Amino acid sequence: MDKFIIEGGFKLSGYVEISGSKNSSLPIMAASLLTDKDVVLHNVPELRDINTMIKLLENLGCRVERKNKKLVLNCKNAGSLRAPYELVKTMRASILVFGPLMSRFGYAEVSMPGGCAIGVRPVNLHIKALEKMGADISIEHGYIVSKARKLKGSQIYFDIPTVTGTENVMMASVFADGTTFIKNAAKEPEVVDLANMLNKMGADIKGAGTSTIVINGVDRLDGVDYAVMFDRIEAGTFMCASLITESNIKIKNIPVYAMDAVFEKFKAVGGFIDIESEDAAVVGGKDIFPINIKTSVYPGFPTDMQAQFMSVLSLAKGTSIIEETIFENRFQHAAELNRLNANISAIGNKAVIRGVDKLVGAKVMATDLRASASLVIAGLAAEGVTEISRIYHLDRGYEHLEEKLSNLGAKIRRVKE
C-alpha cells in the first residue's frame, strides 16, 4: 500500500491542468453498451475507477482499447449480462451498467452495491424506476436480477434527485416504447454530459440539466466520437490547495460554467478568482474567513467539495459550520484533521470548525476519496511532515495528484508502505 509524505509550508505557483471528469467518464463508458458500433472517448482520466469500469465492460464482452486518455470501446459482442460482486464491491458506480444492459438486452444481473464509507447509499430508486418501466426485478443471492421483454416509456418521479439513478434511467429509456419523463431528476453537469453524448449517438433526450428530462425512445444508437467534460471537483480541490497555502495558481481546463456554488463559497472564504476564459482561471488568496456551508444537489454546493473546504476552514479566523445533507456519514476526515491540530466537532450532519492558528503535521489515514483530498490539502499547510496512509482511495479519483502538486512546488512524494 502506498502513502504520501508531505512537507508542509511551501507556496504553490505556476499552473495545473485539470483532467477529464471521473463522474462523467463512468456513465459515458457504460453507455457504450448501447451500440454495436465503436465509441471513441477523449479526455478519459487514468484512474483506478476507470480501470474498474474497463474491467467490468470487458467482463460483459466489450472490447476496450486504451491509448493514454483516449478509449475506443466496442460492445458488439457483449453477451455476458452479469456485473459480478468482485467488481461491484470495489466500485459502486458499476451499477451504471444496469440501465444500458436492460435497454439493449432486456436482462441484467448486477451485484447489489453494499454500504460504503460515506453512507448507506441504497439503489432502491434505480430499481423502482426500472420496475415502473416494466422490468421484472428480484434480489437473488445479493444480485439484482432484472428482465423485461421491452421497457416502456413511463413517468418516473425520484423522491431524491439521484445522479447515477437519473443516468441509469436515461440510458434505460433510450430504446423504450414511447416517452419517458424523469421528474425531480438530478441536474448535475455530468448528467448533461451523458445526455449530450447519447444525443450525439442519435438518442432523443431533452431537458437534461433541469428537473424534468424527457426521453423519446429511438430504434438504434450509432457510434460516437466524444470528449468528456473536465473535472469540476478536481478543479475545486486545487482551488482549496491554493488558498490554504496562500498561493496564486492558474488552473487550466477548469469548467467555469459548472462551478458557481464553489466559486461563491471560495470568494466568501477570502479567495479571489480571476476568470481568464471559459476554461482558465487564476485563483488564490491569503486571509481565510469563517463561513457556513450546506451541501446540496446541483446547482447547490457539492458534497464532493465539503471535505476540502473543511481543511481550509480549519485555519479560518473564527468559527464555521458545515452541514452535510446528501450523505449521512461524510465527516470521517474531521477526526483525522483534528490529528493535524484542527479543532472540529462533528455531531450528526453538522460540523463546527473552530479556526486554529496553525496545522501541525502528523500521521493520518485516508478514509474515502474526498476525505483523502482534504488531508492532502491540510498537509500542504501543516507545519512539519504529514504522512497519509491508504491513499488508494485517492487513486480512484485524482489523476497524478502528487505529480501535479509537485509541479506547482509542493513537497509531496509517494512511498510504498
CA distance linking residue 75 with residue 397, whole number of Å? 25
Number of residues that bind ligand EPU (CB under 6 A): 24
Helices (H), 250-400: 260-269, 306-313, 332-339, 369-381, 392-395
367 sits near ligand EPU (criterion: CB under 6 A): no
Q: Indicate the residue among 326 and 351 with the shorter CB distance to ligand EPU.
A: 326
Burial 321-360 (b: 16+ CB within 10 A, else e): ebebebbebbbbbbebbbbbbbebebeebebebebbeebe
- Is 126 a binding residue for ligand EPU by CB under 6 A? The answer is yes
Q: Which stretch binds ligand EPU (CB under 6 A): 53-61, 132-140, 157-165, 212-220?
A: 157-165
DSSP string, 183-217: ET----HHHHHHHHHHHHTT-EEE-BTBSEEEEE-
Closer by beta carbon to ligand EPU, 81 or else 127: 127
Stretch near ligand EPU under the rule CB under 6 A, chosen from 1-9, 116-124, 135-143, 245-253: 116-124
Residue 69 in the binding site for ligand EPU (CB under 6 A): no
CA 125 to chain centre: 19
62 catalytic per annotation: no
C-alpha of 396 from chain center = 10
Query: Rounded to the nearest whole angstrom, what is the least distance from the CB of residue 74 to ligand EPU in the complex?
Result: 23
Position 173 contacts ligand EPU (CB under 6 A): no
Catalytic residue among 62, 75, 116, 240: 116
* Residue 12 φ/ψ, nearest 5 degrees: -105, 150
Residues 322-361, interacting with ligand EPU (CB under 6 A): 326-327
- Which amino acid is located at 230 in the chain? F
Distances in whole angstroms, Cα of residue 5 to Cα of each of 106, 344, 382 = 49, 23, 12
124 near ligand EPU, rule: CB under 6 A: yes
Listed ranges 9-17, 35-43, 122-130, 141-149: which one lies at the site for ligand EPU (CB under 6 A): 122-130
Window 267 to 306, contacts with ligand EPU (CB under 6 A): 303-304
Residue 296 C-beta: closest distance to ligand EPU, Å: 10
The one-letter amino acid at 110: V
Task: Write the single-letter amino acid at 315.
Answer: L
Choose, by CB under 6 A, the member of 123, 156, 310, 322 that binds ligand EPU: 123
Nearer to ligand EPU, 103 or 237 (CB): 237
Q: Which stretch binds ligand EPU (CB under 6 A): 79-87, 163-171, 331-339, 381-389?
A: 163-171
CB neighbour list of residue 99: distance below 8 Å, 6 or more residues apart: 30, 126, 130, 167, 168, 169, 170, 171, 172
Compute φ and ψ for 9, nearest 5 degrees. 95, 5
Contact string 211-240 vs ligand EPU (x = CB under 6 A): ------------------------------
- By the rule CB under 6 A, 93 interacts with ligand EPU: yes
Distance CA 371, CA 389 (A): 12
Least distance CB 60 / ligand EPU (angstroms): 18
Q: End-to-end CA distance of the chain, in Å?
A: 6
Q: Is 165 a binder of ligand EPU (CB under 6 A)?
A: yes
Is 121 a binding residue for ligand EPU by CB under 6 A? The answer is yes
Rule CB under 6 A: which residues touch ligand EPU? 23, 26, 93, 119, 121-126, 160, 162-165, 186, 190, 303-304, 326-327, 369-370, 397
List active site positions.
Answer: 116
